[in-house]
């Protein structure tokens, strides 16, 4: 059995769409279709039925998919353990959403390393959607995300809470504003794929408000760039409180209360449901969970 073909099939089911799966795997759509056909030939069974509504598993496909996650996990674990044996070094690869990775997380890593110097840690700060993608395609085994991802194969454990707050220039002289007033103020927001945006949208939808009602002057994929713009008086923004606490304390920017609105969210440790942790991964997971409950 060709594991690459099996992985391609697994990703197609995960994404529910051939085009999205091909993009995630960095394949062309025809190339992915060829791999699927070869896997079906290996099993002498039709595995997927494609239509305008997407894809659905056949009975044979359900059986193959049931075992695919276990097989791919075992394959990755073998590669991981052999690599550590050859290199004589333990490496822990982590995907982390930026808001968490830039604030609480570095302190935890520093503390963990003091007790586990033998473990090399590589952290990739990326958007939550990319963390989930890397978990699903077995590139990483441990991730940290905002909000619970809509993937059945991903398990999450609560780490801590944060909130999105409205911030403005230090000289802005109003402490509390209404939503109606906010609609006319220049807003600088994160990019649409950033996980803070669905959180913001959901909260406003509860009040029957759309982001289209606001004066969004531009979007940018950097919280640091947004903080600089807000500090310079170019506009206002919604950012995680943990990301701006230092700037507020130093008086560079200020928090502005929104009348009767609080936008809270959680951070979660995330991993694949059927992943078997190596001993050093288990040490790290236990450390993070125990540390989070002490805060």
Summarize the confidence of residues 143-167 as an average pLDDT.
Answer: 86
For residues 167 and 261, membership in a common domain is answered with yes
* pLDDT at residue 87 tops 70: no
Question: Can you tell me the distance from the alpha carbon of 17 to that of 203, in angstroms, rounded to the nearest whole number?
Answer: 29
Summarize the confidence of residues 62-74 as an average pLDDT.
Answer: 82
For residues 171 and 143, membership in a common domain is answered with no
Residue where a domain stops, chosen among 59, 84, 109: 84
For residues 242 and 179, membership in a common domain is answered with yes
Q: What is the CA radius of gyration of the chain?
A: 22
- CATH number of the domain residue 7 falls in: 1.10.10.10
The per-residue pLDDT for 188 is 96
Summarize the confidence of residues 225-229 as an average pLDDT.
Answer: 95
The per-residue pLDDT for 85 is 60
Question: Can you tell me the distance from the alpha carbon of 69 to that of 153, in angstroms, rounded to the nearest whole number?
Answer: 9
Summarize the confidence of residues 121-135 as an average pLDDT.
Answer: 88
- CATH number of the domain residue 280 falls in: 3.40.190.10
Summarize the confidence of residues 239-252 as an average pLDDT.
Answer: 91
Q: Of 85-94, 114-123, 223-232, 257-266, give the lowest mean pLDDT range.
A: 85-94
For residues 191 and 97, membership in a common domain is answered with no
For residues 240 and 111, membership in a common domain is answered with no
**Where in the sequence is the domain holding 25, given as residue range(s)?**
3-84
Regarding pTM above 0.75, the answer is: no
Banded model confidence at residue 291, pLDDT cuts 50, 70, 90? confident
Residue where a domain stops, chosen among 84, 105, 121: 84
Total domains in the chain come to 3
For residues 260 and 271, membership in a common domain is answered with no
For residues 232 and 116, membership in a common domain is answered with no
């Amino acid at each position: 059995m060709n594991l690459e073909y099996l992985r391609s099939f697994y990703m197609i089911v995960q994404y529910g769409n051939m085009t999205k799966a091909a993009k995630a795997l960095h394949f062309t759509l025809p190339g992915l279709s060829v791999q699927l056909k070869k896997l079906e030939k290996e099993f002498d069974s039709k595995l997927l039925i494609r239509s305008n509504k997407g894809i659905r598993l056949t009975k044979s496909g359900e059986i193959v998919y049931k075992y695919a996650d276990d097989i791919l996990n075992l394959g990755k674990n073998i590669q991981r353990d052999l690599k550590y044996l050859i290199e004589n070094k333990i490496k822990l690869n982590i995907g982390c959403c930026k808001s968490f990775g830039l604030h609480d997380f570095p302190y935890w890593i520093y503390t963990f390393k003091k007790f586990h110097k033998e473990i090399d840690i590589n952290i990739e700060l990326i958007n939550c959607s990319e963390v989930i993608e890397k978990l699903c395609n077995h590139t990483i085994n441990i991730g940290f995300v905002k909000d619970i991802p809509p993937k059945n194969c991903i398990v999450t454990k609560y780490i801590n809470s944060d909130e999105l707050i409205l911030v403005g220039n230090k000289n802005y002289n109003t402490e509390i504003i209404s939503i109606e007033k906010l609609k006319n103020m220049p807003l600088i927001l994160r990019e649409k794929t950033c996980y803070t945006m669905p959180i913001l949208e959901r909260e406003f939808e509860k009040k029957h408000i759309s982001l289209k009602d606001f004066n969004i002057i531009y979007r940018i994929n950097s919280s640091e760039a947004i903080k600089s713009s807000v500090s310079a008086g170019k506009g206002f923004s919604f950012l995680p409180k943990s990301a701006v606490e230092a700037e507020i304390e130093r008086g560079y920017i200020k928090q502005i209360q929104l009348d009767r609105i609080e936008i809270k969210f959680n951070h979660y440790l995330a991993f694949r449901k059927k992943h078997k942790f190596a001993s050093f991964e288990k040490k790290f997971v236990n450390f993070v969970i125990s540390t989070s409950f002490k805060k």
